[in-house]
Structure 1
């Protein structure tokens, strides 16, 4: 028998994850970070996203608990820490990016 309370909670969590991924810049950031840690400068160069937008979107990803930071000297390094997000990104990559 399906536990509807659990199902509703799972649906809310999935909906929130999809809202975060529904922004092109955040999706691109997560795709890059799913391949390994990157500094803010590396992300800016790789994606061509200007610093104000980059900082704003990285802040959203941090607040949602999808990424974490660490300091390396003067650089801030980002990485994906949410395993569900990582698996979802791998699935999306397989569906849309692999040729």
Structure 2
């Protein structure tokens, strides 16, 4: 039981920063480059790269290189499901004007 609680806490810690959560929210829609993610969250590429490095170290995102572009996508299914749940609660209401 405590092992699962530790895993859940680690996931929540990784996503507990607004920019990292925003990055993973964007990745719900599919792969993205650093530049695309930087534009989405409104940060410089270098700052987004630092956040991605942490998310990658924590096993939440993975990479795939195509030529000079590195594509990021969600690796951890638990993270995907958690962010989808948060999206359904917070982003759906925003679209409806609530």
Whether these two folds match at TM > 0.5 is: yes
Which of 67, 71, 77 does residue 65 from structure 2 map onto? 71
Structure 2: unaligned runs, 5 residues or longer? 94-98
Whether 2:44 is the aligned partner of 1:41: answer no
Q: Give TM-score, length-normalised by structure 1.
A: 0.89
Aligned residues: 93
Paired with 1:71 and 1:52, the residues of 2 have a C-alpha distance of: 18
Tell me the C-alpha RMSD between the 2 structures: 0.9
Structure 1: unaligned runs, 5 residues or longer? 1-6
Q: Give TM-score, length-normalised by structure 2.
A: 0.90
Ranges of 4+ aligned residues in structure 1 off by more than 3 Å = none
Higher gyration radius (CA): 1
